[in-house]
Structures are given as structure tokens and as C-alpha cells.
């Protein structure tokens, strides 16, 4: 699967050599992309069948919604990447996982996506402006979009590239 254009564009914001956390990494398209850029990447998903550990890639199988302890307690990353996944109780852990100055690259579906198919349930769709609200006062926002996209399919997405204020 191709790399999200948002991640491809803003990967340059991630400082060279820092470790990266790819949450709900799926088949690992961003894990591999970031590893190829020289980062050590930790990929977490409940289904790790599409992920292969290498010298640069650590794979952690974890259910992020079943109430288990946060699998990365005490660990900090130079960037956190999350795409096409929304589980609001995780938000505090995204911040906890970032070291000061760390970069958040997050893209997922927003309200209005139900016109185009799934996800269509409100619990899986960001509210208007929700990512901006999420980072307000804690992050410096480098880029933000809330818009319809046509590739890889028609969808309504919100996406942000932001730096945790040191
Ligand atoms: C739409 S895929 C996105 C994958 C990847 N981020 C990407 O954009 O290619 C959503 C991912 O969330 C994972 N996921 C869903 N529920 C989860 C849970 N409770 N704990 C951990 N991962 C979960 C799925 O296994 C799947 O890989």
C-alpha cells in the first residue's frame, strides 16, 4: 500500500535519527517508509501479521482498546505517527510517548466521511476542528488540513503535523 501523502510530506519534519512510534501500524506502510529514512521504528498493532521485525523495526502486538496497560510505559519517541485509526482514550498516551520537541503526524477520517463509506460511525470520525483542539496549548502546529481527498479513495480527513512544545 502506498504511503499517505501527508506522512510523505511531513516526514521531513521528523529530526534525523530519532526513534518513531507507529501506532495501529497495520501492514506497516509507514513503519517501513520511516525505517528506510533511517529511523528506528516501533510498530504497534493488535494484528502484527503484516509486520516483520528487523534491526530497524520493533514490532509489538498489543490491543490498544481492551483496557490492558499502555504497552510503551516509560518510553519516549522523537515522533509518533498514527493514520486511519481513532480511539480517543489513547490521546493522553500519544502525548506521553513524545519527548519534548517531538513531532506528531496524525491523519484520520472526520465527520462527513459517512458520505463516502466506512468508517461512518461517529465514534470513529473526528469532529470538526478536533485535532486542533487536541493539541492546543501543548503543540506548535506546523500544518493542519480538514478536507475531502480523492486518493487513495474519496474520503473526508483531518490531518496534522505538530511539534510538542519543549
Ligand atoms: C485502517 S487500519 C490503519 C493501518 C495503518 N495505520 C495505515 O494507515 O496503513 C487500522 C489499524 O488499527 C488496528 N487496530 C484496530 N483496533 C485495534 C486495537 N484495539 N488495538 C490495536 N490495534 C487496533 C487494526 O489492526 C488496523 O491495523
pLDDT tens for residues 70-117?
A: 999 999 999 999 999 999 999 999 999 999 999 999 999 999 999 999
CATH number for 75? 3.40.50.150
**DSSP state letters, 21-74:** EEET-TT-HHHHHHHHTT--EEEEES--TT----SSEEEEE--SSSSPPPTTTT
* H-helix or E-strand spanning residue 91: helix 91-97
Rounded average pLDDT over 136-153: 97
CA 94 vs. chain centroid, Å, equals 9
Residue 13: which residues within 8 A CB-CB, separation 6 or more?
103, 105, 142, 161, 163
Specify the ligand 1 atom closest to the Cα of 81: 6
Q: Please tell me the total count of domains within the chain.
A: 1
How confident is the model over 40-44, as a mean pLDDT? 98
Task: For ligand 1, say whether the CB of 105 is within 6 Å of any of its atoms.
Answer: no
Distance between CA atoms of 26 and 138, rounded to whole angstroms? 28
CB of 83 closer than 6 angstroms to any ligand 1 atom: yes
Q: What's the CA gap between 93 and 98, in Å, rounded?
A: 9
Going by C-alpha positions, the residue among 155, 144, 145 that lies closest to residue 84 is: 155
Where b means 16+ CB within 10 Å and e means fewer, 44-58 reads: bbeebeebeeeebbb
pLDDT at 166: 78
The rounded mean pLDDT for the chain is 97
Name the closest-CA residue to atom 8, ligand 1.
83
Distance 137 CA to ligand 1 centre (A): 28
In the chain, what percentage of residues exceed pLDDT 70? 100
Enumerate the β-bridge partners of residue 30: none
State which residues form the domain around 156.
Answer: 5-164
Amino acid at each position: 500500500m502506498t504511503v499517505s501523502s501527508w506522512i510523505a510530506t511531513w516526514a521531513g519534519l521528523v529530526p534525523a535519527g530519532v526513534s518513531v512510534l507507529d501506532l495501529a501500524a497495520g501492514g506497516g506502510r509507514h513503519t517501513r517508509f520511516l525505517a528506510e529514512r533511517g529511523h528506528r521504528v516501533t510498530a504497534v498493532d493488535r494484528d502484527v501479521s503484516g509486520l516483520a521485525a528487523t534491526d530497524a523495526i520493533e514490532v509489538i502486538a498489543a490491543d490498544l482498546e481492551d483496557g490492558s496497560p499502555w504497552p510503551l510505559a516509560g518510553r519516549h519517541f522523537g515522533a509518533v505517527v498514527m493514520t486511519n485509526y481513532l480511539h480517543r482514550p489513547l490521546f493522553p498516551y500519544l502525548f506521553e510517548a513524545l519527548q519534548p520537541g517531538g513531532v506528531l503526524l496524525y491523519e484520520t477520517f472526520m465527520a462527513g466521511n459517512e458520505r463516502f463509506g466506512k468508517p461512518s460511525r461517529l465514534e470513529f470520525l473526528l469532529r470538526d476542528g478536533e485535532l486542533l483542539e487536541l493539541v492546543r496549548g501543548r503543540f506548535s502546529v506546523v500544518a493542519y488540513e480538514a478536507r475531502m481527498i480523492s486518493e487513495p479513495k474519496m474520503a473526508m480527513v483531518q490531518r496534522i503535523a505538530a511539534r510538542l512544545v519543549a
